[in-house]
Amino acid sequence: MDSTSSVPWNLFPGLIVWRRVRFLGSGSYGAVYLTFLTNFNELNHLLAVKTSFLALSTSLFKEKRVLANLGDCPEIIVCFGHKVTVERGMQLYNLVLEYAPFGTLSDLIQTFILRDINIRIYTTIILKGLRYMHAKGYVHCDLKPDNILVFPSDQRGCYRVKIADFGLTKEPDEVIIPDDYKNRFRGTPCYMSPESVVLGQIGPALDIWSLGCIVIEMHTAKSAWHVLECTPRLDMVHLLASTKMTPPIPCAVTEIGRDFLRKCLARDPRERWTARMLLNHPYVSEV
């Protein structure tokens, strides 16, 4: 276990003092930096800090709130706390998270040809995270390889993965208005489900559809819809709203894997299997 995983930073966030090491990336929420704890040097611990202007930090506030309720799940990224700082007269909101030294699942997909056994292991881990999240009433809404982080593992030839980036998550008490087009495009187009696009329905089945797209991407190193060259938002909306198509299943996928994907990618969300059901499917249960 990480040397700081058991430290309840959220109980005394004022004690967290860090030094930025390098810029890691950015998104709609702000920027992410690799940082080093300067007041707990004996821990020799690297952290990832998401930073946004305080006035524009709604997404990070939500992510902190969600992670505070999902912190008991080993398949979900750890949040160590949050802190408001001042730089050049500007107030910044900082979300302190565990650092993933091997990047994202997207990086892994683009770097290595994943073996079937590895794909099944990563799928199992993601499903366990989804089962926990859905049981508590949360829907991730933007599940994709970029939002799954990669960590070292004791298992040779494999890694641990964790679900991250909860800024778009639907919370248990959040009301979604189907006619609100903003909510229909809460996630990333090529991972969105038909019902979320056409009807604005956002439920656990959306994450399962996204998982099916991710499994295909792990097999092919390309978007689940790449054979149709259809990734722009408007094209995806037309595809999902005007046809009955589902992402093509690669020929190289075993029959048991094909059956698993069919359970994930059923057009009707009522026919899509839940995370709990899928964990009993032989594609993952026999790993």
Compute the 3-state secondary structure of the chain and give helix, strand, coil in percent, each to the nearest 5: 40, 20, 40
Give the residue among 223, 198, 28 at the shortest CA–CA distance from 144: 223
Q: Is 50 annotated as a binding residue?
A: yes
The strand ranges marked E within 38-131 are 46-53, 79-87, 90-98
The strand ranges marked E within the chain are 18-27, 30-37, 46-53, 79-87, 90-98, 148-151, 160-163
**Scanning the structure block, which residue is given the tokens 């994450």?**
207
Residues with active-site annotation: 142
Instruction: Tell me the CA distances in angstroms from 234 to 125, 140, 190, 223, one per residue in order.
Output: 32, 22, 11, 16
Tell me which DSSP letter residue 174 carries: P
Show binding-site residues for ATP.
50
